[in-house]
């Protein structure tokens, strides 16, 4: 935050002595506008003009605690610790900030809004409490700070660039028509206003408008589908167990044999290097050991897969069996 002290802009001495207000008395943060568009909306000339104007009204000098210009620079007026002269009845509890815009003139720049927000955050830090965000019209009957600035205050003074213009709902508007008006994606608008129920928007509700072209929120990622369980046909496995062993080399007659071999290897019955899809003699021996481990003996443990032993292996190692 670029804050220029009174000394920094060579403020004239107070005409009088504004009361000192402890930070503990501050409750509210009031935003004001200039009224009509200021002829000088940035630089020390702005705060000097306000100071002259307020002295002309018989006040001690600039009545706002701070003046924010369109370049986003902050000029110290009453500062953090002096009673302001900006909103009768609220000059002790409220910190008043002028934004250099007026009716029919340019909108507050992103730099200006950012500076106001910085001031607000700093005020909360110094007071140790979340000050109420208010427009002048919340304290007294006045147009100040204008509809646009007031809507921004009501929306929680969102930082520009954080996706955050605002829109005050007009009669008969819907989320869809508002999204069309601002050229933003309907889903992005919904995402920017999570507390808004679409069937319950009313005139004067303030919506946050995401940046045009802001991507819609991504739908939740689909749950990863678990890899398909391998399927082993008992009949084809038995066929492999009968025809593979006599063959030369290690031809693969039924590739899911590898699934069974992998299970046998994990069971500690087959050397990992022999997991090759070829149902050779080593695989037959390993399978026979699996059968014995299940309690089978004799011809029931001959290394030729049977339904019960294969299902037991499938259950333990996560594959599916078919006939």
Q: DSSP assignment of 61-123, as one string? A: S--SSEEE-TTSEEEESSTTTB--SSSTT-TTTEEEEEES-BTTSPPPPHHHHHHHHHHHHHH
Could you give the CA distance from residue 120 to residue 163 in angstroms, rounded to a whole number? 19
Query: Smallest distance from the beta carbon of 198 to Zn ion, in angstroms?
Result: 34
User: How many residues bind Zn ion, per CB under 5 A?
Assistant: 3
CB 93 to Zn ion: min, Å: 16
What is the Rg, in whole angstroms, of the alpha carbon atoms belonging to the chain? 39
Q: Answer yes or no whether residue 136 interacts with Zn ion by CB under 5 A.
A: yes
Applying CB under 5 A, does 151 fall inside the site for Zn ion? no
Tell me which residues in 16-35 interact with Zn ion (CB under 5 A).
Answer: 32
User: 74, 100, 144, 206: which one contacts Zn ion (CB under 5 A)?
Assistant: 144
Q: Is 270 helix (H, G, I), strand (E, B) or coil?
A: coil
Site stretch for Zn ion (CB under 5 A), options 48-56, 130-138, 268-276, 294-302:
130-138
**DSSP element (H, E) containing 242:** helix 234-243
Are the CB atoms for 164 and 152 separated by under 8 Å?
no
Minimum CB distance to Zn ion smaller for 90 or for 136: 136
Q: State the nearest-atom distance from the C-beta of 129 to Zn ion, in Å.
A: 23
Cβ at position 4, least distance to Zn ion in Å:
21
Binders of Zn ion among residues 225 to 264 (CB under 5 A) are none
Q: How far is the CB of 141 from Zn ion (least distance, A)?
A: 11
| Tokens at 180, concatenated | 């069309």
Tokens of 197: 């129920």
Q: Which is nearer to Zn ion, 32 or 48 (by Cβ)?
A: 32
Summarize as ranges the residues that interact with Zn ion (CB under 5 A).
32, 136, 144
């Amino acid at each position: 935050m670029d804050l220029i002290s009174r000394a920094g802009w060579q403020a004239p001495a107070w005409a009088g002595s504004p009361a000192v207000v402890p930070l503990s008395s501050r409750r509210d943060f009031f935003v004001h506008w200039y009224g009509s568009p200021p002829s000088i909306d940035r630089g020390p000339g702005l705060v000097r003009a306000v100071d002259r104007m307020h002295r002309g009204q018989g006040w001690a000098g600039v009545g706002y605690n701070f003046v924010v210009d369109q370049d986003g620079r902050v000029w110290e007026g009453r500062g953090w610790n002096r009673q302001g002269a900006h909103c009768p009845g609220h000059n002790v509890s409220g910190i008043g900030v002028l934004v250099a815009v007026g009716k029919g003139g340019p909108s507050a720049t992103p730099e200006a809004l950012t500076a106001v927000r910085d001031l607000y955050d700093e005020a909360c830090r110094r007071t140790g409490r979340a000050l109420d965000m208010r427009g002048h019209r919340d304290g007294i009957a006045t147009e100040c700070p204008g509809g646009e600035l007031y809507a921004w205050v009501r929306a929680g003074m969102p930082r520009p660039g954080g996706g955050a213009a605002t829109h005050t709902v007009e009669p008969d508007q819907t989320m869809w028509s508002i999204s069309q008006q601002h050229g933003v994606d309907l889903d992005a608008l919904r995402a920017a206003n999570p507390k808004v129920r679409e069937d319950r928007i009313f005139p004067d509700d303030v919506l946050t408008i995401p940046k045009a072209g802001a991507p819609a929120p991504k739908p939740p990622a689909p749950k990863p589908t678990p890899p398909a369980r391998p399927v082993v046909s008992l009949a084809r496995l038995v066929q492999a167990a009968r025809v593979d062993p006599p063959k030369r080399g290690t031809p693969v007659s039924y590739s899911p044999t590898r699934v069974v071999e992998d299970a046998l290897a994990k069971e500690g019955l087959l050397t990992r290097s022999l997991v090759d899809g070829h149902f050779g003699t080593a695989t037959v021996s390993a399978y026979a050991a699996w059968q014995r481990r299940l309690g089978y003996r004799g011809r029931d443990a001959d290394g030729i897969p049977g339904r019960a032993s294969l299902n037991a292996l499938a259950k333990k190692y996560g594959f599916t069996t078919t006939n």
